Chains A and B, each alone.
Chain A
């Protein structure tokens, strides 16, 4: 019995624990050994994990593809920037902001939570409408929402700076600050998918009609996931804007959406492990391609480089290649397996070891 309990506890916490521990080891390694470039490359990976986790909480559990989540990152990113930036700059440049926001000077880490709250509220309002729609209509509507948010943030000069980027956004801290929020996002996603809401939502993902017949309010479950995923996107957007130090609405637009969705699909949209695997795999491939575009110097002084734009094209081909071979992504929807040593505790009954039949 004791063993069973231990086993089920271990099974319950293993996935987030294993993922976070693995990422911590790499982060430590990068911090000790890596150059500045490598460090910022890895920090960006950690932030992308937050953002893809945001997509995943809704898409992975509900099975409904939502294309508009970058909008919540945009909402969160701007809230974090508004709250934490230098008051003087805001008073001169962002005259449309309310007075208390102009004079606010909130610590960056604290403003991440404000960003989450703001994004969650936005997700609640938008989700209450969108989640009622059928699958494809919902996907298109989320995309339309992204366009609307981008247009507003790109043009509301007195509040967002419009086309002129916000600059001098303070930094959140080192690589570990991003790591902590990344770990938090993974834990939130895991708790949700293990919760009663998560289970009901995943049931509806597999068969909506049977879910209704089982008494599940599919609408309510989807809305809960939508709001939670919006909050995590807000967190990712905030951390990302602190990482970049400079912000325009276009940061959270098409190319980011495309990149994050590729990561989710390549890793496997139906498992949290798939999120981490997808982000790391696609980031590495795309980094290699970026270096390829920069080119290498040949001994005779010529540069050998991929034509510009090849990064996107080859990334697309990479995604197609993965999907042809593994339609459900690299992880095929399964989670990080428990190490063999823990998987099936040997049945030890009162000190005696059962003989294997």
Chain B
């Protein structure tokens, strides 16, 4: 409240932001009092052990889950209660842990339909899809049925589909899960290029520490539905709470 009004307005205009958000399922808190801000063209890593509330947070940010408490603002507009399609139309795209491709459509159609949904013509969406598929390394797979793709290609197609509607913010839910080291490197190259090539900010949920640490500008660590640390990767890495909460849980698994 102490901030000058003009500064607050500028800050609020250009960001995907939640403040003091809690989500309760049958009285149980999946996330409690979490605030997170994703500014244009930055890469923020969201980490935490399984069940920390990361995916719930993504659901809140994309309109799939209405927060029980707290606010959601998208470039200054109050986006609480918007439908997923509306949030998507306003520039927030996401990928899914489970892939969730349109599995009976072919690769090109999967990407193309996202462009169409964002208002492009069929031909325009097709051109865009071709470009994006080339960038993620699926240029040779246009005619393949999405459901028949190998797992890692499905992940890449999921990202391509999200990119096809030219999002301003893209939320990647464990994109590197199940990938080999070399596939990871390739994926990291793609993610690293997103702000520059596509002009979008990235919220990266990832268990692979190497991936998160080397890509993120900032880290946000959740545990038990609460924010335990926020900061630069190198700061967070040294933090005791991070080591015990996150890595401890990983080791224990």
Binding site for B on A (CB under 8 A): 195-196, 199-200, 202-203, 205-207, 209-218, 270, 333
Contacts and interface: CB of A to CB of B under 8 A. Distances in A.
Interface in B151-190: 161-162, 165
Contacts of A207: 100-103
Contacts of B162: 214
B104 A333 contact: yes
A213 B94 contact: yes
Interface in B69-126: 83-85, 88-89, 93-94, 96, 100-105, 109-110, 112-114, 116-118, 121-122, 125
A202 B102 contact: yes
Contacts of B165: 214-215
A24 to B, nearest CB: 29
B122 A270 contact: no
A206 B117 contact: no
Given A202-B105, A207-B101, A214 B88 contact: yes
A212 B63 CA distance: 10
Contacts of B93: 213-214
A203 B64 contact: no
Contacts of A270: 104
B130 interface: no
Contacts of A200: 113, 116-117
Nearest to A194: B122
A267 to B, nearest CB: 17
Given A215-B89, A215-B114, A215-B117, A210 B102 contact: yes
Contact of A216 (B85, B104, B110): B85
Interface in B203-253: none
A215 B102 contact: no
A206 B100 CA distance: 9
B62 interface: yes
Most chain B CB within a 10 A radius of its CB, from A202, A203, A205, A210:
A210
Contact of B100 (A199, A202, A209, A333): A209
Closest 3 CB pairs of A and B: A215-B88, A206-B102, A210-B100
B104 A202 contact: yes
Interface string B1-44: 00000000000000000000000000000000000000000000
Nearest to A220: B85
A202 B64 CA distance: 21
B122 A196 contact: yes
A215 B85 CA distance: 4
Given A203-B113, A214-B93, 19 more contacts: A195-B122, A196-B125, A199-B105, A199-B122, A200-B113, A200-B117, A202-B105, A205-B104, A207-B102, A209-B64, A210-B101, A211-B102, A212-B88, A213-B62, A213-B64, A214-B113, A214-B114, A216-B113, A218-B85
A210 B98 CA distance: 10
A110 B128 CA distance: 44
B88 A213 contact: yes
B105 A196 contact: no
Contacts of B112: 199
**Residue from the set A205, A214, A216, A218 with the largest chain B CB neighbour count within 10 Å:** A214
A200 B112 CA distance: 10
Nearest to B109: A199
Nearest to A206: B102
A216 B116 CA distance: 9
B116 A199 contact: yes
A212 B94 CA distance: 11
30 contacts: A195-B122, A196-B125, A199-B105, A199-B112, A199-B113, A200-B113, A200-B116, A203-B105, A203-B110, A205-B104, A206-B104, A207-B101, A207-B103, A209-B64, A209-B96, A212-B83, A212-B88, A213-B62, A213-B64, A213-B93, A214-B93, A214-B114, A214-B162, A215-B88, A215-B117, A215-B118, A216-B117, A217-B85, A270-B104, A333-B104
A215 B100 CA distance: 14
B161 to A, nearest CB: 7
Contacts of B101: 206-207, 210
B98 to A, nearest CB: 9
A203 B103 CA distance: 8
Contacts of A333: 104
B161 A214 contact: yes
Contacts of B122: 195-196, 199
A102 B231 CA distance: 80
Contacts of B102: 202-203, 206-207, 210-211
A13 to B, nearest CB: 15
Contacts of B110: 203
Contacts of A214: 88, 93, 113-114, 117, 161-162, 165
A217 B121 CA distance: 16
A212 B84 contact: yes
A196 B116 CA distance: 7
Nearest to A195: B122
